[in-house]
Structure 1
Amino acid sequence: MDRMPAAKRPAAPFGPLDLQLVLLRRMADHNPDLVEDARHELGVSIAGMREANRRWQAMLHAPRGRAAAARYRSVLGAPEATVRRRIGDLDCEARLWALPLWPDLRFEVLTAPNGAVWNAWLVRAPGAEGPALRTLDDLTPWSCTVDEAARAFAPARPLEGTAPTRWGLAFTAPDARGVRHACAAEFTWGLLQRTAVSG
């Protein structure tokens, strides 16, 4: 029986595993060791991660590609939950999906009334206990989400991210001795990656 060469075989559908690899690829800029451990947990090679990212970029830039909301649904399936949210004067919809790599988090896609995607990032799962964020020592990589850090160290000021999937927060937080410091935290796909401290 003839076997089709690997290069000619149709690629498997892009699914939740691939999206997790895309999220990890962006996080590798700041935390390569954590990403390496996660990649091993998923059982995927470095080449597999690169290929997932290549396919994702191709989907994003395809001339007749799906709209963002439809793209996430095609990759992740039906959302685990859909929640109505009011932001200002607009009624929005938050769609939540579970990702095996982060069982206490959910991948949230926030859509506007016209169906456009406003945001896509990781948030704490409904009912899951969040981290106790009291001092700088608690701000370890992957320990919290954007909204958790903003609530714990209010008032926090949003900072412009260095890429479309990155967000920043400026706030003050105490060290273990209670001395307060100015901080700038950077998040990728909503998950804390690093915190710079000054003062």
Structure 2
Amino acid sequence: MGRMPSAKPASAAPFTPLDFQLVLLRRMADHNADLVEDARHTLGVSVAEMREANRRWQAMRHAPRSRGAVSRYRSILGDPESVTPRRIGDLSCEALLWPVPLWPDLRFEVLVAPGGVAWNEWLVRAPGAPGPELRSPADLTPWSCTVDEAARAFAPVRPLEGSAPTRWGLAFTAPDGPNGPTVPDGPTVPDSAPRDYVAEFTYGLLQRVAVTGPRR
């Protein structure tokens, strides 16, 4: 009796939209392990599968003959849900949007400059989907909002360089509100006194907020 053919190696299998969602989650696990664990169970995958998806993604990105980012996303996610002209300052570009089943109200957006170069890749609110009500820093809970939503709610903000290419930060000043965080042994001042914050994002989705100064 002939030998059965061996199973196709995982590295040779197609990289799927599910794998891409695992890559997003792997990057977010550093800040929100519990949320990532819940999402992983929702997707029905193991920790090993998440790590393998991330390993394969990095290998694709850094391969000597790696395809461009836009071609890579099209090969994994298919045709974008929409392609919209966008102007940001003096730059004319196109915004390509793909659905992300794990977050139905979000889309993965790639901004493509003339010549086909992708210069920004992150999660944004889906067109027509209601955004969160961000009235105070207490509303900035993990995964609650995107970079642009936080920037609008707490303007003026100062963009900060993240610790990795997929991470961003926003520095801003705002009143605490009644449920805001506190600084131990700080001076007694009204709860509504402003203080400085930094919000950290991974792939454009909020991960955590830190207080960077005492109440004023």
Q: TM-score range by the shorter chain?
A: over 0.9
In the alignment, residue 17 of structure 2 is paired with which amino acid? P
Give the whole-Å Cα distance in 2 for the aligned partners of 1:24 and 1:135: 27
Distance 2:70 2:7 in 1: 32
Give the counterpart of 2:208 among 181, 194, 199: 194
SS of match in other structure, 2:12: coil
1:119 alignment partner in structure 2: 120
Q: Whole-Å Cα distance in 2 between the matches of residues 18 and 9 of structure 1?
A: 11
Gaps of 5+ in 2: 179-191
**Per-residue deviation, 1:44:** 0.6
Distance in 2 (alpha carbons) for counterparts of 1:52 and 1:107 = 18
What percentage of residue pairs aligned between the two structures are identical?
Answer: 72
| 1:123 Cα deviation after fit | 0.2
2:154 paired residue number: 153
How much does 1:38 deviate? 0.4
Residue correspondence of structure 1 range 175-190 to structure 2 within 5 A: 175-177=176-178, 178-190=192-204
Structure-2 residue corresponding to 1:15: 16
**Structure 1 partner of 2:181:** none
- In angstroms, what is the RMSD of aligned CA positions? 1.4
Contact (CA 8 Å) 1:137, 1:176: kept in 2 or not? yes
Paired residues of 1:134 and 1:174 also in contact (CA < 8 A): no
**Secondary structure, counterpart of 1:50 in structure 2:** helix
Greater shift, 183-192 or 4-13, is seen at 4-13
Q: Cα gap change, 1:189/1:81 in structure 2, threshold over 3 Å: closer, same or farther?
A: same
Contact 2:11 2:56 in 1 (8 A): no
TM-score by length of 1: 0.96
Q: What is the aligned residue count?
A: 199
The CA distance in 2 between the partners of 1:190 and 1:180, in whole Å, is: 25
1:137-182 CA distance string (max 9 Å, x none) = 1000000000000000000000011000000000012222322220
Residue type of the alignment partner of 1:28: A
Deviations 1:78-114, CA, capped at 9 Å, x for gaps: 0001111012222100000001000000000001011
SS in 2 for 1:131: coil
Q: Is the 8 A contact 2:111 2:118 kept in 1?
A: yes
Q: Tell me what 1:33 maps to.
A: 34
After TM superposition, give the deviation of residue 63 of structure 1 in Å: 1.0
TM-score, with length taken from structure 2: 0.88
Is 1:50 aligned to 2:51, yes or no?
A: yes
The 2-side partners of 1:159 and 1:9 are apart by 37
Gaps of 5+ in 1: none
Aligned counterpart, 1:72: 73
